Amino acid sequence: EPALIWFRQDLRLADNPALAAVQDRPVLPVYVIEDGPWSPGAASRWWLHHSLVSLGQALAGLGTPLFVCRGDARRIIPDLAASIGATEVHAGGQTEPAARDRDAETQTALQAAGARLILHRSALMHDPTRVRTAAGKPFSVYTPFSRAAAMGFDVLPPPIPAPRRLIGAAAAPTGLRPGQFGLLPRPDWAGEFADWWTPGEAGAMARLDSFLEDGLADYAQGRDQPAMEDGTSRLSPHLHFGEVSPATFWHATQGRRGTGRDIFRKELLWREFSHHLLWHRPEMPERALRPAFDAFPWRSDAAMLRAWQRGRTGIPIVDAGMRQLWRIGWMHNRVRMITASFLIKHLLQPWQDGEAWFWDTLVDADLGNNAASWQWVAGCGADAAPFFRIFNPVLQGQKFDAGGAYVRRWCPELAGLPDRFIHRPHEAPADVLREAGIAIGRDYPAPVVDLAEGRSRALAAFAAVKGAD
C-alpha cells in the first residue's frame, strides 16, 4: 500500500525513521514550503533552498523524485494522500508550537478521510513527553535534565542506514522546480554563504568527519576562540534542518575519550534541553519564562537596535560578531553571548528584538535554541545566568580574542591597531590612532554607550523586577 513521507526538519536519508518505515512500499516524498508564525527567516530560506535541491537529487538517485509545493500543509497533505491512495503519512516530530498545531489539524483532516499521520522521533534523542523529574514534571534546570536524558543515550540504537532504493508511488504529481521555490534572497545578499557552507546531507557528513578529525580533540579550548575556524563543529545548521541526526553525532563520538568529547556532548544536550523547554513552554519564543520580566523597563530605540544589527556600536568584539553574522549567516557561540548581553544589558533593548534579528540572519536559526539562549542571556529563562552578571565586552574581547585576530578579520578598518587597543579603539591615544590610520567617528564609530554607565543603568533597571517572582 502506498505511503507518503512528509519531510520537515529531517532532510536526510540516513537514520531517518520515517523514511525507514516506508522504504519497502510505493512512496511519495513531499516537502511543503509553509508560511506562518516563525516560518524560516531569510538566511534559513537560503539554506532550505539548497538543502531541498540536495535531498531532491538524493531521492531521485534512489528512484523517486521529491515533490515540493508551497501552501497550507493541513490541506495539501490530506489531498496528496488521497490522490495516491495512501492511508499513512510518516514524518519526523517537531517541537515548534505552530508545527505541533499544524500536525494536530492535519491529523484530524487525515482521520476524517480514513488515513493517519504517524510521527517518528528523528530530530531529538530524548522524548520530551517521557523525560521527567522524580516528581513527574518536565525539567526546568539543565543539569538534572542532562543527567536524566543522557541515561537513555548510551543505549540508543545504531543509526539506520539510508535505503538503497525507493519505489515511487504511481500517479505521483509533479511539484515545483527549484527555480520556483521562491526561497532565495533577492537581491542576492547571501553571496558569501556558499563559500562557507554546503547544505545537504553530504555536506553535513563531510563537516562531521572533518570536525571529528580536526576539532573534537581540542574542542575544550577551541570552542572559546572565535578566531579559530575549526574550534567548533559548525554543524548547527545541518542539525537544525536534520541533515544529520543527533544520534549519529552521539554514536560518532562513542569510541572517543577526553574532555573535548564530554563538553561537545554537553552542547548536544543543551540542544535537547532547549527543545524540551520549547515543548513544555510553547510561549518561550515570545514571553519571558520568568513573568516578572514582563514589567522590565526596556528602552526600545530603533537607532540603537540598528547600530547593533549593522555592527556599528563602536565596541569591536560586538561589531565583529554582528558583521560575521551578516556576512556568513553564523556567529561563534562565545560572541553570540557577548553581542546578546550587550544588546540586552548595555543598550536595554528587549531580548525579543535581538532574537528576531538572529532569526532572520542565522542559517542555523532554531526556535528552541534561539529562544532559550536569548532568555538565558537576559536572565529571564528557566535556568538562566543571573541578570546582574553583565559581560564587559572589552574584557571579553581581551580574554577570548587576545591577539585581536577575530576583530581584525571582521572589522578590517581596525586592523592597524596594536593588540593593546584592538578591543578599545576609543581609548587609544591620538598618536596610536593616527599611526593606525583611524579617526574615531570617521572610520569607526565612537561607542554608542559608555560601558560603565550602561552597566549601572542595566543594574538599576534590573532592580525594578528583582525578586518580583
- List the catalytic residues: 267, 270, 298, 333, 351, 374
Residue 69, Cα to own-chain centre: how many angstroms? 24
Binding mask 376-415 for ligand FAD (x = CB under 6 A): -x--------------------------------------
**Number of residues binding to ligand FAD, judged by CB under 6 A:** 27
42-50, 64-72, 312-320, 367-375 -> range binding ligand FAD (CB under 6 A): 367-375
Query: Contact between 374 and ligand FAD (CB under 6 A)?
Result: yes
Q: Counting contacts by CB under 6 A, is residue 74 touching ligand FAD?
A: no
Residues belonging to the chain: 469
Q: Using CB under 6 A, which of 43, 86, 315, 362 touches ligand FAD? A: 362
- Under a CB-based contact definition with an 8 Å cutoff, are residues 275 and 99 in contact? no
Q: Which of 349, 370, 375, 396 binds ligand FAD (CB under 6 A)?
A: 370
Provide, rounded to whole angstroms, the least separation between the CB of residue 205 and ligand FAD. 14
Nearest to 175 by CA among 6, 363, 3, 1: 6
- Taking CB under 6 A as the binding criterion, the range among 49-57, 169-177, 188-196, 329-337 that sits at the site for ligand FAD is 329-337
CB of 306 to ligand FAD, least distance (A): 18
The smaller minimum CB distance to ligand FAD, of residues 250 and 270, is found at: 270
Name the helix (H) or strand (E) containing 375. Answer: helix 367-378
Q: Report residue 469 as a C-alpha cell.
A: 517572582
Cβ atoms within 10 Å of 72's Cβ, excluding its own: 14
> Are 231 and 225 spatial neighbours (Cβ–Cβ below 8 Å)?
yes
Measured in whole angstroms, the distance separating CA 60 from the mean position of its chain's CA atoms is 28
- Dist CA 87 CA 434 (whole Å): 74
Interacting residue with ligand FAD among 336, 408, 424, 457 (CB under 6 A): 336
Question: Pattern of binders to ligand FAD over 231-250, x per CB under 6 A?
Answer: -xxxxx--xx----------
Site membership for ligand FAD, residue 149 (CB under 6 A):
no
The minimum distance between CB 324 and ligand FAD, in angstroms, equals 11
Residue number with CB closer to ligand FAD (107 or 146): 146
Q: Compute the distance between CA of residue 376 and CA of residue 415 in angstroms, rounded to an integer.
A: 33
Please identify which residue in the block is written with the cell numbers 578529525: 213
Under the criterion CB under 6 A, does residue 296 sit at the interface with ligand FAD?
Answer: no
Residues 269-288 that bind ligand FAD (CB under 6 A): 270-271, 274
Distance CA 54, CA 48 (A): 10
Which of residues 95 and 373 has its CB atom nearest to ligand FAD in the complex? Answer: 373
Contact 89, 120 (CB under 8 A): no
Rounded Cα gap, residues 92 and 22, in angstroms: 13
In the complex with ligand FAD, which residue's Cβ is closer, 232 or 313? 232
Residue 365 interacts with ligand FAD (CB under 6 A): yes or no? yes
> How many helices and strands in the chain, by DSSP H and E?
21, 6
Q: Provide the b/e sequence for 428-442 (b: ≥16 CB within 10 Å).
A: beeebbeebebebee
Does residue 340 interact with ligand FAD by CB under 6 A? yes
- End-to-end Cα distance, the chain: 56
CB of 8 or CB of 90, closer to ligand FAD: 8
Cα 444 to Cα 309, 310, 436, 437, distances in angstroms:
15, 12, 12, 11
Mapped onto helix, strand or coil, the DSSP state of residue 26 is strand
State yes or no: residue 146 binds ligand FAD (CB under 6 A).
no
Phi/psi of residue 169, nearest 5 degrees:
-70, 145
Query: Is-cis flag, bond preceding 78, omega within 30?
Result: no
Residue 358 interacts with ligand FAD (CB under 6 A): yes or no: yes
Q: Which stretch binds ligand FAD (CB under 6 A): 47-55, 66-74, 147-155, 361-369?
A: 361-369
What distance in Å separates the CA atoms of residue 113 and residue 412, rounded to the nearest whole number? 61
Q: Give the closest residue to 178 by CA, choosing from 29, 359, 46, 38.
A: 46
CB of 365: closest distance to ligand FAD in angstroms? 5
Tell me: does residue 366 bind ligand FAD (CB under 6 A): yes
Q: Which three cell numbers stand for residue 96?
A: 515548534
CB nearer to ligand FAD: give 250 or 296: 250
Question: In terms of CB distance, is 329 or 425 closer to ligand FAD?
Answer: 329
Nearer CB in complex with ligand FAD: 27/362: 362
Q: Which stretch binds ligand FAD (CB under 6 A): 96-104, 154-162, 186-194, 331-339?
A: 331-339
Which residues bind to ligand FAD, rule: CB under 6 A?
223, 232-236, 239-240, 267-268, 270-271, 274, 333, 336-337, 340, 358, 362, 364-366, 369-370, 373-374, 377
